[in-house]
Amino acid sequence: MMLRVLFLLALFPLYAVSAPLPAPDQGPALRIQGSNTIGAALGPALVKGLMEHQGLQAVRIEPAQGANEQRVTGKTRLGKTVSIEVAAHGSSTGFMALKKATADLAASSRPIKDSELVDLDPLGDLKSPDAEQVIAIDGLAIILNPRNPLNALNTEQLAQIFNGEISTWEALGGVGGPIHLYARDDQSGTYDTFKELVLRLRGKPLAAGAKRFESSEQLSDAVSQDPQGIGFIGLPYVRQAKAVAIVDGDSQPMLPLNSLIATEDYPLSRRLFFYLPPSGRNPWAKALVDFTQSSKGQAIVAANGFIAQQVQAIAVEPRASMLEDYQAIARDAQRLTVNFRFEEGSASLDNKARQDLQRVVAYLKSHNKLDKQVTLVGFGDVNNDPQRAALLSKLRAMAVRRELVKNGVILRDIRGFGAQMPVAANTADEGRIKNRRVEVWVY
């Protein structure tokens, strides 16, 4: 673990964390509301890390008054108690709490909805780079009982299963009789993500007979004990269950592996967020966001089973299904665990990509790869004009190039492969956005 932490420290740019922070005379120093995926363990762990970074002593995490609520406390050197409250009742509750001024920071396992953005406009633009903070990448794992022989499902099958249209394991080529459905509750960001990625895109509601859970751990344990069970869960909560490979459109079957989730290629990958209102004046909220993005904070993300936004170089095995030119790159270079993606309907980098630029530059500097050691590979979504698709994919790579050049990087090559090698179905905006990506390869 120590080597892993040191590795993370070497890869991440340093984010300033204001110190020391004031200890309020009464009440909590910070109130966090929202996602159960974040609030169950990761949120309190990050708060504990910040408090210790601030020099507080005897820092501990303890249950608060309600279910799925925790309090983190510590003492200043003068003996004054500082407390931070973390309530984890679902992503939507975080945005509601911001509106009611009962929280200073919202934790969400999905992007803010347009309706919430409008509703919270008096607090400032929550989609601005400083407000919308991607703190980790998570993968939604589809889990089965360990004795279930099925190894892969596509997203269309998932929609039909969880809608109830496919109701027996025999219909999927398996055995076991009726399928038992397990799902998170309506307040859960995990459920919102599954609904967005799988159900809504196909116009299907969740079957009424699905057993619902507020707790991720309880859902996973229930599936692992039910030979006929299937459920969806955040990556850290697979526990004793079996995760299956997922196919989306023409993509390859993908297991929820760390490398595929880090690049967000895995069909059911998602971003975890903190939303910090621009109008907010709580210094602890800004300090927690900065600490979370620092090397120490991202080490805590990794230690809690999520995918830290670290940059690593990984070997990719050339496959016959790859383009020949792409295979040539894969034979000679390694791929960084970052994909640059863009704002919807725009060639502008999204908020995560802006953060990742600094991480990539820090990696290239630390590995002496600033001078002609980098190739950018752009992809796009399906288009009636293949030449136009190829041009647009190269233009996206050039948009990343411009930002890297500003930081002293001299590129080796820029390639555009158009709509080839999709990682998501092109039948909806979400899939097309995911396919519009730029990969980074280093020699």
| pLDDT of res. 344 | 73
User: Is residue 290 assigned to a domain?
Assistant: yes
> Does one domain contain both 296 and 335?
no
Q: What is the rounded average pLDDT of the residues 204-218? A: 96
Which string of b and e fits 234-247 if b means at least 16 CB within 10 Å? bbbbbeebbbbbbb
Whole-number average pLDDT of the chain? 91
Element housing 61 (H / E): strand 57-63
Instruction: Tell me: pLDDT of 236 over 90.
Output: no
Geometric angle at alpha carbon 308, from 103 and 421, rounded to 5°: 115
User: Is residue 35 assigned to a domain?
Assistant: yes
> Does one domain contain both 280 and 317?
no
Rounded to a whole number of angstroms, the distance between the first and last alpha carbons of the chain is: 28
Q: What is the rounded average pLDDT of the residues 259-277? A: 94
Q: What one-character DSSP code corresponds to residue 256?
A: -
The CATH number of the domain holding residue 126 is 3.40.190.10
Which pLDDT tens digit goes with each residue over 58-102? Answer: 999 999 989 999 999 999 999 999 999 999 999 999 999 999 999
| pLDDT of res. 348 | 86
Instruction: Tell me: pLDDT of 15 over 80.
Output: no
> Does one domain contain both 105 and 180?
no
Least confident of 148-152, 199-203, 295-299: 199-203
Q: What percent of the chain has pLDDT over 90?
A: 76
> Does one domain contain both 161 and 186?
yes
Q: What is the rounded average pLDDT of the residues 373-398? A: 87
> Does one domain contain both 317 and 414?
yes
Spatial separation of the C-alpha atoms in residues 427 and 247, rounded to whole Å: 14
> Does one domain contain both 252 and 295?
no
Q: Which residue, among 358, 159, 174, 333, has the nearest Cα to 248 in the 3D structure?
A: 159
Our separate counts of H helices and E strands in the chain read 15, 18
| pLDDT of res. 285 | 98
> Does one domain contain both 438 and 414?
yes
Spatial separation of the C-alpha atoms in residues 194 and 167, rounded to whole Å: 19
User: Is residue 198 assigned to a domain?
Assistant: yes
The CATH number of the domain holding residue 404 is 3.30.1330.60
User: Is residue 33 assigned to a domain?
Assistant: yes
What the block records as the tokens of 191 is: 């459920």
Q: How many CB atoms lie within 10 A of CB 440?
A: 26
| pLDDT of res. 347 | 74
- Total of domains in the chain: 3
User: Is residue 205 assigned to a domain?
Assistant: yes
Instruction: Tell me: pLDDT of 302 over 60.
Output: yes
> Does one domain contain both 283 and 349?
no
Which pLDDT tens digit goes with each residue over 92-126? Answer: 999 999 999 999 999 999 999 999 999 999 999 99
Instruction: Tell me: pLDDT of 11 over 50.
Output: no
Q: Last residue of a domain, which of 262, 295, 324? A: 262
CB 372 within 8 A of CB 385: no
| pLDDT of res. 322 | 92
Which pLDDT tens digit goes with each residue over 329-355? Answer: 999 999 999 999 988 767 789 999 999
User: Is residue 244 assigned to a domain?
Assistant: yes
User: Is residue 416 assigned to a domain?
Assistant: yes
Least confident of 15-29, 77-91, 143-157, 179-193: 15-29
Geometric angle at alpha carbon 258, from 254 and 263, rounded to 5°: 75
Spatial separation of the C-alpha atoms in residues 108 and 182, rounded to whole Å: 21
What the block records as the tokens of 157 is: 């099958």
> Does one domain contain both 423 and 368?
yes
Q: Which residues contact 96 (CB under 8 A, 6 or more apart)?
A: none
- Expressed as residue numbers, the domain containing 114 is 2-131+276-303
Spatial separation of the C-alpha atoms in residues 135 and 322, rounded to whole Å: 32
Q: What is the rounded average pLDDT of the residues 417-425? A: 89
What the block records as the tokens of 125 is: 């633009």
Instruction: Tell me: pLDDT of 238 over 90.
Output: yes
15 or 305, which is more confident: 305
Instruction: Tell me: pLDDT of 261 over 50.
Output: yes
Query: 39 in helix, strand or coil?
Result: helix
Q: What is the rounded average pLDDT of the residues 180-186? A: 96
| pLDDT of res. 249 | 87
pTM of the model as a whole: 0.82
> Does one domain contain both 319 and 244?
no
Q: What percent of the chain has pLDDT over 70?
A: 95
Instruction: Tell me: pLDDT of 1 over 70.
Output: no
> Does one domain contain both 152 and 170?
yes
> Does one domain contain both 149 and 246?
yes
User: Is residue 308 assigned to a domain?
Assistant: no
Q: Residue type for 80, please?
A: K
